[in-house]
Amino acid sequence: MNDDQLLRYSRHILLDDLGVEGQQRIVAGHALVIGAGGLGSPVLLYLGSAGVGTITVVDHDTVDRTNLQRQIAHTDARVGEPKVSSAAQAVSALNPEVRVRALQQRADAALLDELVPAADVVLDCSDNFATRQAVNAACVRHRRPLVSGAAIGLDGQVSVWDSRGAAHPCYACVFPPEAEAPEVRCATMGVFAPLVGIIGTMQAAEALKLLAGFGTSLAGRLQMLDGRDLSWTEIRMGRDLACPVCAAVRTV
């Protein structure tokens, strides 16, 4: 790292668990972020400020004034702009060294098969069941760790789905694709603004740990937050040996 990077990331470098080597891995890392809204905003800002070298962000939507209550990567002046370009501007303002590839597209299977293999870690910040399943399937196919978050109303959840581990479940092990979960969106249910910040920040923390190579990830654990009293519940999960997504590529 150069002198400017040593100064910029000095508070990371001072951490014994991270140090110069861990920060170098972050700077050399590539994160793929699906969604640039409520969860994607803190994810992108923290990954950018922490120095992740390359960030690819995918989102088909544009900034709407109703987003501004919680989607902190966007501003009133950028209403109507693609969320990906607005988020890229926000990251660049924090850290111009980070390379942001902004793709205003839907994250379908074909695009994911192109993008996931190039990433070191994938973060699902989407807001619908079908996209979560598609992202999970691509991560399983290409053996990439997936950091997933969700938030609606006053409830949030976060986990790491890393099927590289023999006992670790993928998203479909716990939330089967055929379950057809009802779509619950912020537009109809509302969401407490800081909740997406809490969950998105945890996603960023898990991704940075994976990139730097320290600590223990949330793989095999689902953490759920009740925003009414800020209480956390953790569920430990194992792999479903009959899972239609990860059974075929099960680690032996």
Give the number of other CB atoms < 10 A from CB of residue 89. 16
Say what the pLDDT of residue 252 is. 41
Say what the pLDDT of residue 187 is. 60
Q: How many domains does the chain have?
A: 1
Q: What does the alpha-carbon distance between residue 162 and residue 144 come to, in Å, rounded to a whole number? A: 7
Say what the pLDDT of residue 247 is. 87
Active site residue 246: no
Question: 193-212 and 40-50 helices cross at what angle (nearest 10)?
Answer: 40
Say what the pLDDT of residue 163 is. 85
CA 88 to chain centre: 15
Question: Can you tell me which residue has the tokens 């992108």?
Answer: 44
By CB neighbour count within 10 A (0-12 exposed, 13-18 middle, 19+ buried), where does 234 fall? exposed
Which residues of the chain carry a pLDDT beneath 70?
A: 180-188, 250-252
Q: What does the alpha-carbon distance between residue 223 and residue 168 come to, in Å, rounded to a whole number? A: 15
Say what the pLDDT of residue 168 is. 94
Cα angle 86, 208, 16; round to 5: 135
Say what the pLDDT of residue 189 is. 77
User: Residue 213 belongs to what domain range?
Assistant: 3-249
Say what the pLDDT of residue 251 is. 44
Say what the pLDDT of residue 184 is. 59
Say what the pLDDT of residue 15 is. 97
The per-residue pLDDT for range 72-107, each reduced to its tens digit, is: 999 999 999 999 999 999 999 999 999 999 999 999
CATH number of domain containing 49: 3.40.50.720
Catalytic residue among 139, 186, 243, 246: 186
